[in-house]
């Protein structure tokens, strides 16, 4: 048993100077005192620098490091961080618009969500063109994630500048094919001025973002130079239905007032009216989107 008043090793770890004085009063060996004090200070420095003094396994440390890296990536890809790092892209009217699109136009919700569907399909044709002209694999032209480009900001109270498609462009396009990158960033940076409720990440806007992410790879497998096959019909039909399901769930959620519900019902009606053939033709249009702007 430890003699009374002699400090134990734990006391050296907690407060080495106090333990040293206590042991000197006890009459300990000076050499032993110096060694114990040096060890205690080394332990404190190791703990302060994040070292593991518990004898944990290397696999545990690796798991912790992996978790930290994933958390860092999650923070980097969060909408708030991406809004601070977006690059300004050139604004151009939507070529599918039946009206002249002014810089300060406010789009109704039906217009916005219909274009979120049709421009997303057109993105598939654009990706096919990029692959045809470059060495970049089609599945790697676009990535999921927050948009890195934005053509404008909105200062209208109660409204947002909402992206129509939410993707990231492969960085090799910018460095190796700048003539293609410029119209590409204009396309993905395109926004509509819409009521704020239509562009909330935890609302319908965020759900449409996630639908686009889920279907991005499938859209990239469609040959828009070919025929409308049964496989392609299935992809486009499921994409359209995903939009309808998201909007119907929003209507039933109870989050929206009467006017907003009427707006969303108009969105459903407009999307229902779009045929699968019309969606496929939107993808075909994407094949010529960049050449017309170079």
CA-based Rg of the chain, rounded to a whole angstrom?
30
Do 125 and 142 contact (CB within 8 A), yes or no?
no
Q: How many structural domains is the chain composed of?
A: 2
The answer to whether residue 241 is domain-embedded is yes
Same domain, 16 and 161: no
Beta strand 149-150 pairing with 87-88: parallel
The answer to whether residue 89 is domain-embedded is no
The pLDDT averaged over each successive group of 10 residues in the chain (294 residues) is 51 57 55 61 53 41 48 45 49 46 74 97 97 94 90 90 95 94 94 94 93 97 98 98 98 96 97 98 96 78
Same domain, 28 and 117: no
Q: Give the C-alpha distances (Å, rounded to integers) separating 240 from 4, 117, 227.
A: 79, 7, 19
Do 137 and 255 contact (CB within 8 A), yes or no?
no
Three-class DSSP category at 268: helix
Same domain, 128 and 272: yes
Same domain, 20 and 116: no
Same domain, 171 and 259: yes
Same domain, 114 and 33: no
Residues 119 and 239: their CA atoms lie apart, in Å, by 13
Instruction: Look up the domain containing 192 and give its range.
Output: 109-287
The pair of three-digit structure tokens given for residue 178, joined into one six-digit string: 């700048």
The answer to whether residue 76 is domain-embedded is no
What pLDDT, on a 0 to 100 scale, did the predictor assign at position 78?
A: 44
The answer to whether residue 177 is domain-embedded is yes
The answer to whether residue 43 is domain-embedded is no
Same domain, 117 and 27: no
The answer to whether residue 88 is domain-embedded is no
What pLDDT, on a 0 to 100 scale, did the predictor assign at position 100?
A: 39
What pLDDT, on a 0 to 100 scale, did the predictor assign at position 53?
A: 36
The answer to whether residue 77 is domain-embedded is no
What pLDDT, on a 0 to 100 scale, did the predictor assign at position 75?
A: 44
One-character DSSP codes across 36-50:
HHHHHHHHHHHHHTT
Same domain, 161 and 25: no
Same domain, 252 and 140: yes
The answer to whether residue 254 is domain-embedded is yes
Question: What's this model's pTM, rounded to 2 decimal places?
Answer: 0.68
Same domain, 155 and 22: no
Q: CA angle, 189 as apex, 188 and 195 as ends, to 5°?
A: 110
Residues 31 and 29: their CA atoms lie apart, in Å, by 6
Same domain, 116 and 260: yes
Q: What is the DSSP letter of 138?
A: G
Q: Give the C-alpha distances (Å, rounded to integers) separating 19 from 22, 28, 281.
A: 5, 11, 81
């Amino acid at each position: 048993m430890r003699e009374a008043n002699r400090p134990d090793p734990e006391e050296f770890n907690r407060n080495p100077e106090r333990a040293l004085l206590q042991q000197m009063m006890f009459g300990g060996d000076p050499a032993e005192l110096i060694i114990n004090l040096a060890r205690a200070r080394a332990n404190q420095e190791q703990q302060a620098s994040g070292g593991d003094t518990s004898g944990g396994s290397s696999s545990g440390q690796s798991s912790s490091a992996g978790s930290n890296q994933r958390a860092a990536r999650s923070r980097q890809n969060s909408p708030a961080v991406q809004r601070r790092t977006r690059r300004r892209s050139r604004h151009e009217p939507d070529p599918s618009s039946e009206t002249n699109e002014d810089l300060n136009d406010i789009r109704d919700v039906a217009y916005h969500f219909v274009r979120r569907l049709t421009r997303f399909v057109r993105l598939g044709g654009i990706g096919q063109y990029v692959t045809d002209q470059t060495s970049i694999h089609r599945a790697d032209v676009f990535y999921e994630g927050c948009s890195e480009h934005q053509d404008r900001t909105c200062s209208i109270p109660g409204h947002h500048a909402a992206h129509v498609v939410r993707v990231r462009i492969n960085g090799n396009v910018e460095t190796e094919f700048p003539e293609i990158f410029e119209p590409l960033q204009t396309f993905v940076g395109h926004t509509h001025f819409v009521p704020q409720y239509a562009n909330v990440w935890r609302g319908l806007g965020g759900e449409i973002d996630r639908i686009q992410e889920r279907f991005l790879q499938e859209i990239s497998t469609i040959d828009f130079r070919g025929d409308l096959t049964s496989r392609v019909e299935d992809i486009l039909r499921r994409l359209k239905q995903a939009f309808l399901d998201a909007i119907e769930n929003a209507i039933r959620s109870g989050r929206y007032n009467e006017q907003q519900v009427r707006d969303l019902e108009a969105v459903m009606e407009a999307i229902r009216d779009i045929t699968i053939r019309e969606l496929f033709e939107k993808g075909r249009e994407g094949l010529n989107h960049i050449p017309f702007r170079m």
